[in-house]
Structure 1
Amino acid sequence: MSSQLIEAVLNSSERTNLRQFASQLRTSEKQYLLRNEILTVFNDYCQTHDISEQFIRQSHLGKLVSCIQEIIVDKESLCLVIRPRIAHEEAYRLLEDMTIVPMSVSDLLDLRDRLVNRYHPNEGDVFEIDMDPFYDYSPAIRDSKNIGKGVAYLNRYLSSKLFQDPRQWQEELFDFLRLHRYNGYQLLINERIQTQRQLSDRVKQALTFVSDRPKDEPYPDFRFDLQALGFEAGWGNTADRVRETLEMLDQLIDSPDHQVLEAFVSRIPMIFRVVLVSPHGWFGQEGVLGRPDTGGQVVYILDQVKSLEQQLRDELILAGLDSLAVHPKVIVLTRLIPNADGTLCHQRLEKIYGTTDSWILRVPFRDINPTITENWISRFEIWPYLETFAIDAERELRAEFGHVPDLIIGNYSDGNLVAFLLARRMKVTQCNIAHALEKSKYLFSNLYWQDIEHQYHFSLQFTADLIAMNAASFIISSTYQEIVGTPDSIGQYESYKSFTMPDLYHVVSGIELFSPKFNVVPPGVNESIYFPYYNKDERLEGDRQRLEELLFTLEDPAQVYGHLEDTSKPPLFSMARLDRIKNLTGLAQAYGQSKDLQERCNLILVAGKLRTEDSTDHEEISEIEKLYQIIHEYDLHGKVRWLGVRLAKTDSGEIYRIIGDRRGVFVQPALFEAFGLTILEAMVSGLPTFATRFGGPLEIIQDKTNGFYINPTLPEEVAQIVITFFDQCQQDANYWQKISQAAIERVYSTYTWKIHTTRLLSLAKIYGFWNYVSHENREDMMRYIESLFYLLYKPRAQALLEQHRQR
């Protein structure tokens, strides 16, 4: 597609325009231009040469430029990195005589190295990582629109192959059903059924038996009759539920269908013990939210655990296993921090509130260097301790479960690496959830990694990401664009497809984006904490009064900076960490630059800390200083309240509702947001929500229907979009309510934890089933991944450990 577009330009009168545009690029000061810069230069070129808007939109050259992601100016040529469609990238060299030459991935990576003076051809080739050969034997999705729907594709693909040989299919299914046990107790079928043919006959006998019984008759009342036929517990808790499940099995034996197969496998009791891994610390239920490296991830996992345990419990009850004292257990694995700073992070076991048998299990890092390991360690510094942590954690998990877990879910880069190590050792299904990958958040972080290695250690993090994402049985993303972006922007996982770490390695192919391991399963909100502002009966009057005072009138320099001259104005509200990506200072600047916006509303920020001396995080310190500077520069005194507090989750829920009481709005101005839980929290509370167009919010919000998109890099535009909303509210008394109600309905229809955990467990079962029946030998891939761990990751982790020892 790209080559055809280039040829169309070169074989037309537009060839002259391309030559002129290329000349303008060569005379620019920049050697490396990204998409927005390329579009700006092209627009400047068109204005200079009096070229029409129609040409920009409809010409071959205009279409070509719109597809270019990068341009590297290299002596006598230009390198054009073109993304003609989602998940596809091509590179070409445009010579001065307008000759176009395709570039290989290796050539492109060499050029990027040369750009930063890190290309050393006389010293030999750089190490290349290529995962492509290990995906050759796996099915691959063809249409990029279906990326993120991996399990649906896998079901159709493998079912069609397996169902072609009925005898093989029936034997595979029979063998799989015989596998399942709980604490040594046989489930589903017993030794009275010895062959797949016998299974088919007995299913029909059992169907006749249960069909004659009352629909709601409890399983224990006819348990022994089913046992005599060869069926153990696990088919259902009532006669009707057992009949439904057996009918699915009967259909699969006689006339298999991939949709019935998915429904049937989702009912099989396969998962009883689940581990969620989040090592980097400050993981607790009190006193940790909002600390560096925690916040959203802790909230996400705790909410997920509660829903996960409930879903497991509901499924086991429906399977008829509660009568046999079969109960789920969920453990969040994190690190124990001896110097816990007043939190419970030094406590080995902590029961998770609102659960029956879910726990936070904290395992300490080995006491290699007490001045480091007895304290909190940043997620950027944690890498030397993860391998031994995984070894120690395996022992602790086996002790807690009395068994190996059935599913391990990693979270973030460090958690996914530990999940890989544990799953490899215990031969368990591994699920990855990344939330946000740092590589996408920090521009050119791989290209200039050596310049920032002392601060971020991205050589370790990006290597860990490559290892974990390829090793995972399946990967859950919150949005489609988290995987492959949009037509205009590259996705988080897509950024790992090919890249260079100069002087370290080249990634020729880091991940197969069309692999069916990717599935979009968005998170939900905790509906007991975040609910619409008009649900008065569920709100506590004492909390409302206390928090209203905190938001609007409390004078306490330890908690609040600024006062409001006119508290009757609707609040423009935001709540996030004070770091560069969250961009609260950008929102303050947009507010400060707009007198019209200041006249319409007050700005209220809940942003962690007020004083630089209370923080050890360099980004947070910088943003604190910047926020004070903006308030003073634009004289926002009397219009801004900055709350430097850590809020309990219940308080944050009530604060959203108080903003709703006053017909306020929520703004999420992040420069990039992988998903955006605060967006869901605000929307389900009933707040009209304005959120960044860079990342997950594009899939949560439907613009101007249940919320609004903003470009946080354009402060004037941000202000104008909010002003237009408030103007519309003045013209239409029902407009605020209309957007509010649409936001609430959007969350309840799509973003609940019930939906999330139902899908998560279904995926875990289906991938477990297909891993068994497909007999796919992944050992070659796993050995290659282990080589990356021991030859690349581990030596660098040990080098960082030596640095820690010298502190």
Structure 2
Amino acid sequence: MYELFEGVLNSDEKTVLGELIDVLNLSGKRYFLRNEILHTFADCCQQFQKPAYFYHSSSIGKLIHYTHEIILEEECTWFVVRPRIASQEVWLLRADRSFEQMTPQALLDARDRLVNRYQNHILEIDLHPFYEGSPRIDDPRNIGQGLAFLNRYLSNELLADPQYWLELLYLALSKIDYEGIPLLIGDRITSGIQLAKQLKPALQFLSQQPPEEPYEKFCSHLQQLGFEAGWGNTAARVRETLELFERLIYSPQPAILETFVARIPAVFRVVLISVHGWVGQEDVLGRDETFGQVAYVLEQARSLENKLREEIKLAGLDLLGIKPHVIILTRLIPNCEGTFCNLRLEKVQDTENAWILRVPFAEFNPKITNNWISKFEIWPYLETFALDAQTELLAQFKGKPNLIIGNYSDGNLVAFLLSRSLKVTQCNIAHSLEKPKYLFSNLYWQDLEEQYHFSVQFTADLISMNAADFIITSSYQEIVGTPDTIGQYESYKWFTMPQLYHVVDGIDLFSPKFNFVPPGVNENIFFPHSQKSERDAELCRKIHELLFISEDSQIFGRLDNSKKRPIFAIGTFNTVKNLSGLVECFRKNQALQEHCNLIILTSKLHPHEAINPEEAGEIEKLHDIIKQYHLHGKIRWLGMRLSSRDLGEAYRVIADSQGIYVHFARFESFGRSILEAMISGLPTFATQFGGSLEIIKNQEDRFNINPTDLEGTAKKILDFLEECDTHPQYWQEVSEWMTGRIHHRYNWHSHTNQLLLLTKIFSFWNFIAPENNEARDRYMEALFHLLYKPRAKKILKKHLGE
């Protein structure tokens, strides 16, 4: 960036830069983000009558397009530039037009001064030392592909020092057991060298057996050679696995390592943690703020149990009576409003041994802990919950789990506490991080603390994401964003919590712990509308009437012409989900109203049903827009929660009318409803801000919309409708593409395979390099006790009325 700054300041372009800074100063603001900077620069280019190329291709044009933040101080201007994905730099431009690269610490001080909360000495959190010396990814394009990276790294290490790594492989395999029953390697084999030697007679023996010969028929011979159960259920399967191991020893390659590891039976018990989610089944799929998370963990549990059962059978371990055991750990809620959320143990439907285990919060104040608690208020109860849950889990499993998966910020913190205590592999799934969702939430945390308690949550995020053995994300952008936007995890790289602490290096984005493992959808519930034979005719009729005709106290609006093409939207009420923005877009475009009806499905219809002021405000805003602009007869609003089965049919009924689905969020980390709509066959328009950009791919930007550009969004939808009217087959072509995209790319089978592979690889990695994790986890414990707990106690005092 030095050359770029120099090029600007040593040319006539410095005049434009000075004008840009002057214009920003005139606004009265001191902190500017990328969009505002670009718009102001475009105005300056127009004012100076610059040619079209100047905006993009001049030195200042390039500099401004790399700039994500500008902070104005009296004698200087701060630039936060991002020349590459996952790489931010801080530059200071002084009044005399000299410039210098600065440290993150200096920038954080400037941000504190900006809000008049600077203090000279402040705690600095720096996680960089814990990643020094560890293998890391070089190319930003490969961020999120940690599994592939570690496979290559370990294969190269095997080649470089085969003797040493053979002994490590032996030690790792020899420690695999189930309830004290040794698996894979028995005590007759005492070293890596002996293990390698025993492969030849074992393979020679197996080559003489019929391929389909069951393991129990020849197990005694293999045990004499030192090989226990777990290599396979037939002679052919055992032989293939041992051959893979032999090839791994003598000619290691990443593909061989991955295939071999996939066959190793090392995972039998899994905990999925979703603490506050109101976790139930049937019609109890969470509250509005956790609906997607609960559906996710239920489907993940089913898929995991099914995959583990298959692995155990193929490994020949079902003969020993070994069964997978999956537990969804959540909180027990005594005042459960007629649901099963006060039931300690509940079997997950369509599984043999997956369960919801509910553990109550300690009764600091039953008026609080006996009821559902919002994700923003839950923090004081998590430590005791983790202690109580550990006892319950050990009793339920009759042993330790092999994997603990946290969900969302609170679940990830509990996963850290349990993993640390039990010495078990920890996986984090954030789903959505609040810090990047709420603009400037860290900078103004003191003003937001009463409502959101961000100081506790952001500290919990730092602890859990760094303590986790691996992190899975639904999209690449979740980690490092796009060339134009900062990633969710990237936003934790450096930031300030004024008068509390500075994070000068909060996470290594190039760590192989990050892995892109997108979820799937339940294809028994969400499937294409064209699969008529699988649809229930009576359910279809019922949902059609509900969406287009029925009258109910929880339905607002009667359509003047139900034959118009429907625009369908589903969402919760907050400013981020932006349902009011979609209604505003619809009301502003007459052509859209002439072509379409707008059908909205939410869980609430009236302001008095809201659980917080933000939600009530959004509901009132929708009612006001409809009333003020006379949209009656054009909009239908259902304020009710549909079961998953009914929801699946709702997408299909809209598709029967050749409708479309619109996801208008200001930001969406991933977007579960986007998957559901697409696989149902609905052409789907989704926000360009977030993970949906990756879901709707290879469509030349036709279905990515900017929710801040109402006119542009309406034009994209109308262009699509015009194409459908001109070429009747076009809607069907897009529908089939959408369905195929989700079916092949976003499915639970692929997700679970990757998740178990990651568990095994990172468990092995922890085994060979435990000293790195111990130092890191000690640091995380310090943050937990010295920062997190005091902040959480303040929330508890508030709950107790002290």
Q: Which moved more, 1:47-56 or 1:376-385?
A: 47-56
Partner residue of 1:800?
795
Q: For residue 24 of structure 2, what is the aligned residue in structure 1?
A: 25
2:558 alignment partner, SS class:
coil
1:448-488 C-alpha deviation (Å, 9 max, x unpaired): 00001000000000000000000000000110100000000
Judge conservation of contact 1:524–1:753 (CA < 8 Å) in 2.
yes
Instruction: Give the equivalent residue in structure 1 for 2:86.
Output: 87
Q: Write the letter of the residue equivalent to 1:66.
A: H
Give the CA deviation at 1:28: 2.5
Q: Superposition pairs for residues 381-396 of structure 1, below 5 Å?
A: 381-396=377-392
**Residues 1:610 and 2:605 aligned together:** yes
Q: Does 1:371 align with 2:367?
A: yes
Is 1:149 the counterpart of 2:148? The answer is no
Report if aligned partners of 1:33, 1:71 keep a CA contact under 8 Å in 2.
yes
Structure 2 counterparts to residues 201-212 of structure 1, below 5 A:
201-212=197-208
Counterpart-to-counterpart distance in 2, 1:719 and 1:556:
30
Matched, 1:644 2:639: yes
* Unaligned segments of structure 1, at least 5 residues: none
Alpha-carbon contact 1:524-1:756 (below 8 Å) kept: yes
1:153–1:589 distance in 2 versus 1, CA, 3 Å: same
Give the Cα–Cα distance (whole angstroms) in 2 for the partners of residues 705 and 50 of structure 1: 32
Residue in structure 2 matched with residue 59 of structure 1 by the alignment: 58
Query: Per-residue displacement from partner, 1:302-332 (whole Å, max 9, x unpaired)?
Result: 1111111111111111111112111101000
Please say if 1:38 is aligned against 2:37.
yes
1:503-582 mapped onto 2 (5 Å cutoff): 503-557=499-553, 559-582=554-577
Q: What SS does the corresponding residue of 1:292 show, helix, strand or coil? A: coil
The partner residue of 1:288 within 274, 284, 291 is 284
User: Partners in 1 of 2:286 and 2:702 — Cα distance?
Assistant: 26
Alignment partner, residue 616 of structure 2: 621
* CA deviations over 1:618-645 (Å, ceiling 9, x no partner): 2221111011011112211001110011
Q: 1:732 aligned to 694, 710, 727, which one? A: 727
Counterparts in 2 of 1:322 and 1:193: CA distance versus 1, 3 Å:
same
Query: Per-residue CA shift, 1:8-44, capped at 9, x if unaligned?
Result: 2122232222222222222332111100000011111
Percent identity of equivalent pairs? 56
TM-score by length of 2: 0.99
Residue matched to 1:187: 183
**Cα shift at 1:369:** 0.7
Separation in structure 2 between the aligned mates of residue 61 and residue 501 of structure 1, nearest angstrom: 32
C-alpha contact (below 8 Å) 1:350/1:360 kept by paired residues: yes
Taking the aligned partners of 1:222 and 1:158, their CA distance within structure 2 comes to: 33
Partner Cα distance (1:313, 1:198) in 2: 31
Which residue of the partner structure matches residue 784 of structure 1? 779
2:100 maps to 101
Cα displacement (A) at 1:101:
2.1
Contact 1:573–1:665 (Cα < 8 Å) also in 2: yes
Counterpart of 1:245 in structure 2 is 241
Shift in Å, 1:229: 1.7
Match of 1:688 among 683, 687, 692: 683
Give the aligned partner of residue 259 of structure 1: 255
* Pairs within 5 Å for 1:309-388: 309-388=305-384
* Cα separation, 1, equivalents of 2:182 and 2:698: 53
Q: How many Å separate the matches in 1 of 2:249 and 2:519? A: 35
CA displacement at 1:777 relative to structure 2? 3.0
**Residues 125-179 of structure 1 deviation map (CA, whole Å, 9 limit, x = unaligned):** 0110000011112111111111001121122223323432221111111111111
Q: State the shift of 1:196 in Å.
A: 2.1
1:538-595 Cα distance to aligned partner (Å, 9 max, x none)? 11111111111100000112x2100111111111001111221111111111011111
Q: Structure 2: which amino acid aligns with 1:90?
A: E
TM-score, scaled to structure 1: 0.98
CA distance in 2, matches of 1:401, 1:290: 25
Whether contact under 8 Å (1:578, 1:620) holds in the other structure is yes
- Which aligned pairs between 1:120-135 and structure 2 lie closer than 5 A? 120-121=119-120, 125-135=121-131
Residue in 1 that maps onto 2:412: 416
Aligned to 1:138: 134
CA–CA distance in 2 between the matches of 1:71 and 1:400? Answer: 54
In 2, distance between residues paired with 1:334 and 1:300? 14
Query: Which residue does 2:707 correspond to in 1?
Result: 712
The answer to whether 1:654 aligns with 2:649 is yes
Deviation at 1:503, TM superposition (A): 0.7
8 Å CA contact 1:93–1:100 kept in 2: the answer is yes
Give the drift of 1:775. 4.5
Q: Which residue number in structure 2 is paired with residue 746 of structure 1?
A: 741
1:233 aligns with 2:229: yes
Q: Is the 8 A contact 1:82 1:89 kept in 2?
A: yes
Match of 2:587 in 1: 592
Matched residue, 2:9:
10
1:621 and 1:561, CA in 2 relative to 1: closer, same or farther beyond 3 A?
A: same
Give the match's secondary structure for 1:778.
helix
Residue identity opposite 2:96 in structure 1? D
Q: In 2, Cα distance between the equivalents of 1:211 and 1:776?
A: 42
How is 1:348-497 mapped onto 2 (pairs within 5 angstroms)?
Answer: 348-497=344-493
Moved more, 711-720 or 766-775: 766-775
| 2:667 alignment partner in structure 1 | 672
Question: Do the aligned residues in 1 keep the contact of 2:277 with 2:293 (CA within 8 Å)?
Answer: no
2:396 partner amino acid: E
Count of paired positions: 802
Distance 1:250 1:145 in 2: 33
Q: Equivalent residue for 2:211?
A: 215
**1:683·1:689 contact (CA, 8 Å) conserved in 2?**
yes
Counterpart Cα distance in 2 of 1:793 and 1:156 = 38
**Are the equivalent residues in 2 in contact too, given 1:328–1:357 (CA < 8 A)?**
yes
What displacement does 1:708 show? 0.6
What value does the CA root-mean-square deviation take over the aligned residues?
1.2
Aligned equivalent of 2:762? 767
* Whole-Å separation in 1 of the counterparts to 2:5 and 2:200: 64
1:794, 1:483 → 2: CA distance?
27
1:497-549 Cα offsets, whole Å, 9 max, x none, are 00000010000000011111000000001010010001111111111111111
Please identify, of 25-34 and 312-321, the stretch whose mean Cα deviation from structure 2 is larger.
Answer: 25-34
**Per-residue CA shift, 1:646-677, capped at 9, x if unaligned?**
11001110001001111000001111011111
Q: Is the 8 A contact 2:346 2:357 kept in 1?
A: yes
**Residues 766 and 773 in structure 2, CA contact (< 8 A), matched pair in contact too:** no
**Kept after mapping to 2: 8 A contact 1:306/1:355:** yes
**Structure 1 pair 501–354 and aligned structure 2 pair: CA distance change class (3 A):** same
Moved more, 485-494 or 22-31: 22-31
C-alpha distance in 1, partners of 2:15/2:575?
42
Residues 283 and 642 of structure 2 are in contact (CA less than 8 Å); yes or no, is this contact kept in structure 1? no
Partners of 1:406 and 1:428 within 8 A in 2: yes
Distance in 2, matches of 1:81 and 1:14, equals: 19
Paired residues of 2:571 and 2:577 also in contact (CA < 8 A): yes
CA contact (8 A) 1:482 1:696 kept: yes
Look up the equivalent residue of 1:594 and give its one-letter code.
N
CA contact (8 A) 1:673 1:695 kept: yes
